[in-house]
Amino acid sequence: MKLSKVSQVVLVSIIGLLVATCFSACQLVTIDWIFVASSAGSDGQIYTYAVDSESGALRSGPPAVSSGGASPVSMAVSSDYYNLYVANAGSNSVVHFGIASNGVLSKKDSVTTSAPPASVFVNAAGTYLYVVTGTTSATLTEYALSSGTIGNAVATEKLTIPGYPSDTVVPTAVTVLPNNSAVYATVYDQSAYNPGGIATSNANPGWVFGFAVGSGGALTVASGSPYQAGVKPSAITTDPTDRFVYATDFASNELIGYGIQNGSALNFLVNGPFKTGNEPSSVVVDPRGIYIYLSNALDSTVSAYSIALPTGTPSAIVNTTSSTIYATDTQPDSIVLEPALARFVYTANYLGNSVSGFRLNPNTGALTATQATPYPTGSKPTAIIAVPHGNHATQSVAP
């Protein structure tokens, strides 16, 4: 059918309007910046990615920057999302970066640690940076922060197994309650748990050390601390209501839950510990306090759980394929839930040289793969963290 010139003009106008509308509606909106630390090479690198609000897909952001040292193993971000801290195990340092609104990182200052750092965490008040260090003995150090700048150490605690002061103790992780009142660090006793070697100690291998935080950052040992934590605790986190603590046991394939008593003391949750995939390596609780996600390094999967709010007990979430696990790329060793919408979960995959992405169903907690996942990173990524972009508010809903 031949159209008149007027009809052709009208048709072209309609097509143009549809294209413009589609372009406007489909334009990419960044809701978060994802930072990934890569450990390969003589100097670590931090890669930046933008999270698309609709699909959760990652796009490359500003150019990668040096982590400020060798072998970055852990990252932490301040609650105002202006400051990033990177622990470099290969150079005994923690480096502070400023975070610009466009995702650009700029190195600010650093502190040298007496031994390789294993994990870092910033309290919600932004007043203290906590670092666990050591390869044969474990130490928790609390540094003062002033507008993000790392100051002097205000408290130092040796993490020694009761009754076994000469055992080889390896720190793995540290976290702080959202109300800033207590700090917890995980370690394992290598003298008691030494696969491929000889065990020389009868001590329980895995432990959580707890400390109440007082005026001026003073640390006081929590009642009953340290607390048994299986064989090889690998990661630790808290829920947003300051009621529960969860630790992964890498060696026993378990999630261990604790209830918090009197502000800092821990008691085991009933019916625990809880089954995970093989070699759980990292754990996160969503900001609503109703779901838990953890990465399983050996399985290359993510496990998902819902939290029974009265008791803190986690129950495995079954997805639409009747499975309770979600496949990632090879050997996920770190996991994060983006804070802007709390709708997407990402893992850094050490042997996959990639990030795997998942969309979170806020009604069920089930996960589905994001568009085009996995996303390539630098070689051997070890840590991943997220900050909201621009004016996007963070998701925080009291359970």
Residue-wise pLDDT tens for the chain (399 aa)? 444 544 444 343 343 433 333 333 345 799 999 999 999 888 999 999 999 999 999 999 999 999 999 999 999 999 999 999 999 999 999 999 999 999 999 999 999 999 999 999 999 999 999 999 999 999 999 999 999 999 999 999 999 999 999 999 999 999 999 999 999 999 999 999 999 899 999 999 999 999 999 999 999 999 999 999 999 999 999 999 999 999 999 999 999 999 999 999 999 999 999 999 999 999 999 999 999 999 999 999 999 999 998 999 999 997 766 666 799 999 999 999 999 999 999 999 999 999 999 999 999 999 999 999 999 999 999 999 999 996 544 555 445
φ/ψ bin of 73: left (φ > 0), alpha (ψ from -120 to 50), beta (otherwise):
alpha
The alpha carbon of residue 341 and the mean position of all alpha carbons in its chain are separated, in whole angstroms, by 16
Domain ranges of the chain: 41-388
- Please give the class, per CATH, of domain 41-388: mainly beta
CA nearest to 371, candidates 51, 21, 61? 51
Q: Using CA atoms, how far apart are residues 160 and 103, in angstroms rounded to an integer?
A: 40
Peptide bond into 165 cis (omega under 30): no
C-alpha torsion angle, residues 235, 240, 243, 248 (rounded to 10): -10
Global pTM value: 0.91
Look up residue 216 and give its DSSP letter. G
- The count of C-alpha atoms lying within 13 angstroms of the C-alpha of 321, restricted to the half-sphere facing its C-beta, is 8
Q: Using CA atoms, how far apart are residues 194 and 214, in angstroms rounded to an integer?
A: 36
Q: Using CA atoms, how far apart are residues 118 and 185, in angstroms rounded to an integer?
A: 11
The alpha carbon of residue 30 and the mean position of all alpha carbons in its chain are separated, in whole angstroms, by 20
Confidence at residue 172, expressed as pLDDT on a 0 to 100 scale: 98
User: 164 and 189 in contact (C-beta within 8 Å)?
Assistant: yes
Q: Is 264 exposed, middle or buried (0-12, 13-18, 19+ CB in 10 A)?
A: buried
Amino acid found at 184: Y
User: 50 and 75 in contact (C-beta within 8 Å)?
Assistant: no
Q: Using CA atoms, how far apart are residues 58 and 370, in angstroms rounded to an integer?
A: 9
Q: Using CA atoms, how far apart are residues 127 and 349, in angstroms rounded to an integer?
A: 31
Confidence at residue 41, expressed as pLDDT on a 0 to 100 scale: 80
CA nearest to 335, candidates 31, 30, 32, 36? 36
Q: Using CA atoms, how far apart are residues 9 and 94, in angstroms rounded to an integer?
A: 64
Peptide bond into 273 cis (omega under 30): yes
Q: Using CA atoms, how far apart are residues 26 and 19, in angstroms rounded to an integer?
A: 10
Confidence at residue 12, expressed as pLDDT on a 0 to 100 scale: 37
Q: Using CA atoms, how far apart are residues 395 and 113, in angstroms rounded to an integer?
A: 34
